[in-house]
Amino acid sequence: MTRTRGLGRVFQRPRSPYWWIAYVHRGREIRESSGSEKKRDAVALLQARQAAIHEGQYVSRDADRVTVAELLADLRVDYEIKRKASRRTLRSHIAAWDAKLGPEKAAHVARPMLNGIIQEWQGEGRAPATINKFVTTLRRAFRLGRLNKKIRVLPDFPEKLPEHNARQGFAAWGMVLALLAALPDDGLRDFVEWGVRTAMRLGEIARLTWKAYDRETGVVRLPGQDAKTGQPRRIVLGDTPLRMIIERRWADRRLDCPLIFHRDGRPIVEFRKSWASACRAVGLIPGRAGLTFHDLRRTGLRNLVRAGVSQHVAMAISGHKTPSTFRRYDITSDEDLREAMEKTTAYLEGLPTTSKVHALARRESVAG
């Protein structure tokens, strides 16, 4: 047996050709095989373990035994603790990976394996955006596992798939007003109008409670745990239709329901039938093939921009974190393009039609 500097030793065990190491971590002696018959290899491994412990980078010797399911379970707990609004979506992502990789050792996950799963999903008809979100969830689970010192290295994840299926739907304001009139006035109409005027997400509106409303200042605050981005936001009502919506909801509030927006005391979660009926009543196709509620978020954002609201303020209202995502929602319509060309034509027609450029006089050469 040989001791090294610090709390550690190298030794041989009966009937084992390999050198072993022992070291102390958090008051407990840990023994592991070096996997080598050379003593110097065991000494090098022991020194590496001692250095990792000293620097706070030690990863358990059980790292090679950690499964993908364990990493995903830790990610779920992390979302629950931080009360992230997207934790409900996370469950479907975890279920998808559990079905493919749950029992697999995390150390065995590699890019070819992930590419094979992605090809399977593509064969099943899953959208590129959905697959990208699944891969992002798995990457987060591995990064959390690395942060928690459960695994040593991260696999080489595939690049994002190109997404060519981004929706471009929105509704003109006249059509929005007609749609609102066709919706039932049982709380759903106010819900939808609030969404199109603020460009808030459906889930964010559905979670608003009266605790978020300061009636004295006329401010509605969305807590960070209820926002998709995790960042709190606020809507200042002012003397606008938004205040009228809130006043209507205030008059219809119920002691048995803390939500601002509800239908007869029940949370507004799903309203496909009412939405489809209203869309058909005004000549629109409902659902993915036509108009969705999320399309009204694009309408709301587009209206903010056309009204002259700065990008910074519009993003603060809608909850977009990056300018690139914001610009994707700022849809340019044929009417915008037509108006741009008409403005350009009007500008050109106002310019002088005769040239005011005079020929330069030819300089006489000067003898040097």
Tokens of 45: 């491994």
What is the structure's pLDDT at 101? 92
pLDDT tens, position by position, 38-54: 999 889 888 888 887 78
Q: Where are the beta strands (DSSP E) in 205-355?
A: 213-214, 219-222, 233-236, 262-263, 266-267
- Is the whole model's pTM more than 0.75, yes or no? no
pLDDT in tens, 330-363: 555 556 556 656 666 676 677 676 655 555 555 5
57 is written with which tokens?
């980078």
pLDDT for the residue numbered 181: 94
> Does residue 368 surpass a pLDDT of 50?
no
d(CA 97, CA 133): 12
32 or 177: which leads in pLDDT: 177
Structure tokens given for 297: 């978020």
Residue count of the chain, please give it.
368
Cα 80 from Cα 78, distance rounded (Å): 5
What DSSP line would sit under 94-150, residue for residue?
A: HHHHHHHHTTSBGGG--HHHHHHHHHHHHHTT--HHHHHHHHHHHHHHHHHHHHTTS
**Given this model, what pLDDT does residue 56 score?**
72
